[in-house]
Chain A
Amino acid sequence: MLEAINVPLASLNVMTLAPMLIAIVGALTILVVDLFKSNLDKTIYVMVSLLFLVLDLGSLIDWSDIISTNGTVLGFFDVMTMDGIAVLGQIIVVVASMLFIPLALSSKRFHEFAYPEFFALFLFMIAGFQFMVASDNMILIFVGLETSSLALYTLIALHNRSKSFEAAVKYFTMGALAAGFYAFGAMALYAATGSVEISQMGEVLAASGFDNIAYVLVGTVFLLAAFGFKLSLVPFHTWTPDVYEGASASLAGYMSIVPKIAGFVVAMRLFEMLINSGLVWLEAILYATVVITMTAANIWALVQTDVKRMLAYSSVSHAGFIMAAILIGTTQANSALFFYWFLFTFTNLGSFTMLWISRQKVLVAGQSSDHPYEKFSGMIKTMPIAATIMALFMLSLAGIPPLGLFWGKLYILSAAVNAGFPVLALIMALNSAIAAYYYLKLIVYMFMKEPTEASYNYGGNASIPLKTIIGIASVGTIFAILVANPVLETITSFVSASGY
């Protein structure tokens, strides 16, 4: 006969689940509303999602207060870990989602936004990401990862184009492989340490002096591969350009930001634990991954003919850049990661939205893809303001001061310098120079060439909400310098409070 387990409710700390539960309740609400009255307009779903995300953000702000006074809070049988980086990660996830969800309100009608399920899945996906970042437990991380990924595959496929199906299936296949790698890697680490909690794994490994090195090696390599897929690190990036091309620009922009920050937070927990244990070869593997990801992606991006594919490779390269922060592993580097991603959110939101407003339903003759460079040629003459804004986003991505991403780059380079990685800093700097070329290429098309037939198709999908989002993104990009100091201070205090 089993003994009765008596768990006082207070010890569960159910509040740790509040942010995710809000998102889940939001998703269920949308489904319930649909149950009572179908064929509602997409605007209601967008606004309901937005409202629940506001609540979600509100609860996270509460949590940030709790954490700054009480430190890390564990909950739900210690499966949930609400610490500084969990809250930061969730805030970025939720804020980015709030900025992306209004992109559904485009002036052209797209069939996926007519389904309430799209928005329900969207909110479930957010809850999945939130679980991922707010846990120390390999199993819950896995659950969150899979919840969000499965929702994301479906969202891509809903776009209802043959390329979108291809993209979804490709992403699904790769994602399934990554899930397998993850499970296998986690199993190996479990075998070596007898725990699924990352912090306990670290303790056991350190105590045992790494005598199970073979297990650790297998576990680390498989986990690195799994995260390589999720974070699109070379050589596991091959799905990225195709999936970005197949997905709608709004979703592609979303994919370039939110899943990755969730992945980075988990990677930070995991690899910091391993690097702090002093594994030299792990540092070498990560070093190689970072350098190869940055450089190779940059070189591939140079030869792209489609802006969306170029941005896909650019986001791979940015992921490599940011992975360097995890390799460096100091508090400054980890703060730089969040700082960079915060700024990157605005810039990338802007550039993908600029693609989204130019979405055509029908390609003109001779147009090979949705967003070839030619589409933007001579834009300064046909749509000067749009061209200037797009150029701002490109310059920010290239890291031209004083635009947003420059400060992120500056801080992460400084972290590399301070932690004794001068060569890495130099490689990162030179990679920024390579990257400048392909961002400039778009500027050259927009500002220095004559308009063509295709370039008059620009802006057909624009609407007031989309323009508002672009406005927010450009303000965030141009005036980043004004908020940089408080943001940086907050991020640093959160990161150092949670011990990273």
Chain B
Amino acid sequence: MFDHILSILIFFPALAAMLGFAVSRKSFRAYGLTVTAVEFVLSLGLWYGYDNTAAGMQFLENAPIISAFGISYSLGIDGISMFIVILSTFFTMLGIASLTETRRIKELVITLLFLEMTMVGVFSALDAILFYVFWELSLVPMLYIIGAWGGPKRIYASIKFFLYTFTGSLVMLVGMLFMAYFYHQATGVWSFAILEWYRLILPESFQIWLFLAFFIGFAIKVPMFPFHTWLPYAHGQAPTIGSVILAAILLKMGTYAFVRFSLPLFPDASAFFMIPIAIIAIIMIIYTAMVAYAQEDIKQVIAYSSISHMGVIILGTFALNVEGISGSIFLMLGHGVVAGALFLLVGVIYDRRHTKMMDQFGGIAHVMPRYALIFGIMMMASVGMPLTINFVGEFLSLLGFYQQSHMLTLLAGTGIIVGAIYMLAAYKKIFFGDVTKEENKSLKDLNKTEYLGLIPLAIIAIWLGVYPKPVLDPINNSVESLVTLMHEKAISEDAKSVIADPREVKVYKIAPAVHHTAHHGAHSEAH
């Protein structure tokens, strides 16, 4: 029954969106919620049907689209992508459940359903062109969401978002075409299948150029440091639902693509660029944390904190070892949950007060204690307190990079402390002290709709912080095979030594730090 589950997951929301044109405007929120709940349950079916012990791609589907040019419709997921797919369906559902927008809700929900299609598509595509199709297509619904439901400067923000990402991805497209060309040179066959490309070993100079071409596309999406300027605008102007999806899922496309394309296709170039990218990542972590500290607008604080966290993810990814990459993928999930929740929380207060300026608040904890509690949990998760979801990811990412460079890891760790400062400062400004503003005295605490969105997130944030194993295990398995592949593919000795073979060094390196990896050791010995 799971043969075509990925196709169903991709096209079910799109079909529902098209049928949705016939559904009455009055009951549209219920329709959207039903559809996304079904979709979420289907994606849980994916987890149920997933074989945790296997590392490779599962639920494979393949059909030619343009066979003359090697473009095919090929899908599949592994431990790396599965949880991001589930996160996408989960957040679309939560986003619609906690939707407070009243203007033209039908158009909004239909757009969200199309967006869901593109998100699931990006994370399950195994053909570069198919990936590109969904990657680009995801820009259109987001453009509409920001541009039609956003704040006063929404048009500028949405166009900036679109053009930035579009430009980057066109460069990436040229890179993909080169990749296909090299594949054709090597085998005489046209193919855009990523798994086929994995088998191709390119000379180092080609790798570096192609790495750069892909890097521009991904780095803008993440967004990495010099290209990050579109994000605060997009977040600042987007409606709550737009910010939630943008932070929770769309940014992950970039970091996911690094893991899916850059690392395994260009292992030597990845090793070559490891330190420069780590430096950019650390600039992201520290600089945006400082910028976040200077913000007056609470949404901007969270937007900049997102960039800062994305820096940690990049750092973990470019640790080029199992701990770092697994950690970064786990942090993608963690950041998705936490940043999504924080944006929802900001939406809650914005709906009541129609302002996001922190100086308008103060002493909110007295009037909205439950709100303050959930905000507090999420804030703690955001700064990476132990036993919350982000701690696991951040810790593993830093642990991974520690094996590559002690000094840089130390700097990154400092940056995370700055993160704690601005989040705590923001929390203090909003929630503690006396209630100074008259309007704030009569604020109502969370209502049922809002609980519906926030409580599951709070539970996940703590559950996966305490017990990450069910999620971390499949991730670890797939990452291990990824790193093995990279190690095998690396040409130069330098790269081979940077990308340690996980089969050799694993036991002595991780055993004292993270106990669950012992399981893997036993597992791979069994092989």
Q: Using a CB–CB distance below 8 Å, which chain A residues touch chain B?
A: 380, 395, 400-402, 406-407, 410-411, 413-414, 417-418, 422, 425-426, 429-430, 432-433, 436-437, 440, 443-444, 447-448, 481, 484-485, 488-489, 492
Contacts of A401 in B (CB 8 A): 129, 132-133, 136-137
Contacts of B280 in A (CB 8 A): none
B140 and A395 contact, CB distance less than 8 A:
yes
Choose among B129, B136, B174 the residue that contacts A417 (Cβ–Cβ < 8 A). Answer: B174
14 contacts between A and B (CB under 8 A): A380-B148, A402-B133, A410-B173, A417-B177, A425-B177, A426-B171, A429-B171, A437-B159, A443-B143, A448-B144, A448-B147, A448-B158, A488-B68, A489-B68
Instruction: Quote the shortest CB–CB distance from B464 to chain A (angstroms).
Output: 35
Which of B160-168, B286-294, B400-408 lies on the face that meets chain A?
B160-168
Which residue on chain B has the smallest CB distance to residue A485? B66
Choose among B107, B155, B163 the residue that contacts A436 (Cβ–Cβ < 8 A). Answer: B163
Which residues in chain B, 275-320, are within 8 Å of chain A measured between CB atoms? none
B65 and A485 contact, CB distance less than 8 A:
yes
A425 and B155 contact, CB distance less than 8 A:
no
A422 and B69 contact, CB distance less than 8 A:
no
B166 and A433 contact, CB distance less than 8 A:
yes
Cβ of B461 within 8 Å of any chain A Cβ, yes or no, is: no
Instruction: Quote the shortest CB–CB distance from B186 to chain A (angstroms).
Output: 14
Which of B107, B140, B170, B184 gathers the greatest number of chain A CB atoms within 10 Å? Answer: B170
B170 and A429 contact, CB distance less than 8 A:
yes
Instruction: Quote the shortest CB–CB distance from B178 to chain A (angstroms).
Output: 5
Given contacts A426-B174, A429-B173, contact A380 B137 (CB under 8 A): no
Given contacts A429-B174, A437-B159, contact A448 B148 (CB under 8 A): yes
Cβ of B64 within 8 Å of any chain A Cβ, yes or no, is: yes
With A429-B173, A440-B143 given, name 5 new contacts (CB 8 A). Answer: A418-B184, A429-B171, A432-B170, A447-B144, A447-B147
Which residue on chain A has the smallest CB distance to residue B134? A401
B136 and A400 contact, CB distance less than 8 A:
yes
B137 and A400 contact, CB distance less than 8 A:
yes
Given contacts A444-B159, A485-B64, A485-B65, contact A414 B137 (CB under 8 A): no
Bound-state CA distance A485–B147 (Å) is 36
Bound-state CA distance A407–B65 (Å) is 11
Contacts of A437 in B (CB 8 A): 159, 163
Bound-state CA distance A476–B180 (Å) is 27
Instruction: Quote the shortest CB–CB distance from A382 to chain B (angstroms).
Output: 13
Contacts of A481 in B (CB 8 A): 65-66
B174 and A425 contact, CB distance less than 8 A:
yes
Choose among B143, B148, B154, B163 the residue that contacts A433 (Cβ–Cβ < 8 A). Answer: B163
Contacts of A414 in B (CB 8 A): 69, 177, 180-181
A484 and B177 contact, CB distance less than 8 A:
no
Given contacts A402-B133, A485-B64, A485-B67, contact A413 B177 (CB under 8 A): yes
Instruction: Quote the shortest CB–CB distance from A446 to chain B (angstroms).
Output: 10
A422 and B174 contact, CB distance less than 8 A:
yes
Contacts of A426 in B (CB 8 A): 171, 174
Bound-state CA distance A492–B68 (Å) is 10
Which residues in chain B, 62-99, are within 8 Å of chain A measured between CB atoms? 64-69
Contacts of A430 in B (CB 8 A): 167, 170-171
Given contacts A395-B140, A484-B65, A484-B66, contact A444 B155 (CB under 8 A): yes
Instruction: Quote the shortest CB–CB distance from A242 to chain B (angstroms).
Output: 29
Contacts of A402 in B (CB 8 A): 133, 137
Contacts of A436 in B (CB 8 A): 162-163, 166
Per-residue 0/1 for B141-157: is the Cβ within 8 Å of any A Cβ (1 yes, 0 no)?
00110011000001100
Contacts of A484 in B (CB 8 A): 65-66
A400 and B140 contact, CB distance less than 8 A:
yes
Interface of A is mostly: helix
A433 and B66 contact, CB distance less than 8 A:
no
A410 and B137 contact, CB distance less than 8 A:
no
Contacts of A488 in B (CB 8 A): 66, 68-69
Contacts of B147 in A (CB 8 A): 444, 447-448
Those 6 A-B pairs whose CB atoms lie nearest each other, nearest first? A429-B170, A401-B133, A433-B167, A448-B147, A417-B177, A485-B66
Choose among B136, B159, B173 the residue that contacts A440 (Cβ–Cβ < 8 A). Answer: B159
Which residue on chain A has the smallest CB distance to residue B168? A433
Bound-state CA distance A122–B140 (Å) is 39
Bound-state CA distance A488–B174 (Å) is 20
A422 and B65 contact, CB distance less than 8 A:
no
Bound-state CA distance A443–B181 (Å) is 35
Which residues in chain B, 476-518, are within 8 Å of chain A measured between CB atoms? none
A440 and B178 contact, CB distance less than 8 A:
no
Bound-state CA distance A481–B64 (Å) is 11
Bound-state CA distance A400–B163 (Å) is 12
Bound-state CA distance A117–B137 (Å) is 46
Given contacts A395-B140, A444-B155, contact A413 B162 (CB under 8 A): no
Bound-state CA distance A437–B163 (Å) is 7
Bound-state CA distance A411–B159 (Å) is 27
Contacts of B163 in A (CB 8 A): 433, 436-437, 440
Which residue on chain B has the smallest CB distance to residue A490? B68
Contacts of B171 in A (CB 8 A): 426, 429-430
A380 and B107 contact, CB distance less than 8 A:
yes
Instruction: Quote the shortest CB–CB distance from A40 to chain B (angstroms).
Output: 42
Instruction: Quote the shortest CB–CB distance from B191 to chain A (angstroms).
Output: 13
B69 and A448 contact, CB distance less than 8 A:
no
Which residue on chain B has the smallest CB distance to residue A437? B163
Contacts of B66 in A (CB 8 A): 407, 481, 484-485, 488
Which of B67, B68, B136, B147 gathers the greatest number of chain A CB atoms within 10 Å? Answer: B68
Bound-state CA distance A444–B160 (Å) is 12
Bound-state CA distance A443–B174 (Å) is 26
Bound-state CA distance A448–B147 (Å) is 6
B178 and A417 contact, CB distance less than 8 A:
yes
Contacts of B154 in A (CB 8 A): 448
Bound-state CA distance A402–B68 (Å) is 17
Bound-state CA distance A436–B69 (Å) is 25
Contacts of B136 in A (CB 8 A): 400-401
Instruction: Quote the shortest CB–CB distance from B18 to chain A (angstroms).
Output: 11
Which of A432, A444, A492 gathers the greatest number of chain B CB atoms within 10 Å? Answer: A444
Which residue on chain A has the smallest CB distance to residue B67? A485
Choose among A395, A413, A422, A448 the residue that contacts B155 (Cβ–Cβ < 8 A). Answer: A448
Contacts of B181 in A (CB 8 A): 414, 417-418
B170 and A411 contact, CB distance less than 8 A:
no
Contacts of A413 in B (CB 8 A): 173-174, 177
Contacts of A395 in B (CB 8 A): 140
Instruction: Quote the shortest CB–CB distance from A448 to chain B (angstroms).
Output: 4
Contacts of A447 in B (CB 8 A): 144, 147-148
Contacts of B184 in A (CB 8 A): 418
Given contacts A400-B140, A402-B137, A448-B154, contact A411 B69 (CB under 8 A): yes
B129 and A410 contact, CB distance less than 8 A:
yes
Instruction: Quote the shortest CB–CB distance from B143 to chain A (angstroms).
Output: 7
Which residue on chain A has the smallest CB distance to residue B185? A418
Contacts of A418 in B (CB 8 A): 177, 181, 184
Instruction: Quote the shortest CB–CB distance from A363 to chain B (angstroms).
Output: 26
Which residue on chain A has the smallest CB distance to residue B146? A448
Contacts of A448 in B (CB 8 A): 144, 147-148, 154-155, 158
Bound-state CA distance A137–B398 (Å) is 72
Contacts of B159 in A (CB 8 A): 437, 440, 444
Contacts of B155 in A (CB 8 A): 444, 448
Which residue on chain B has the smallest CB distance to residue A433? B167
Which residue on chain A has the smallest CB distance to residue B107? A380
Bound-state CA distance A436–B162 (Å) is 9
Contacts of A411 in B (CB 8 A): 69
A410 and B177 contact, CB distance less than 8 A:
yes
Instruction: Quote the shortest CB–CB distance from A393 to chain B (angstroms).
Output: 13
Which residue on chain A has the smallest CB distance to residue B154? A448
Instruction: Quote the shortest CB–CB distance from B154 to chain A (angstroms).
Output: 7
Bound-state CA distance A471–B174 (Å) is 32
Per-residue 0/1 for B20-58: is the Cβ within 8 Å of any A Cβ (1 yes, 0 no)?
000000000000000000000000000000000000000
Instruction: Quote the shortest CB–CB distance from B129 to chain A (angstroms).
Output: 7
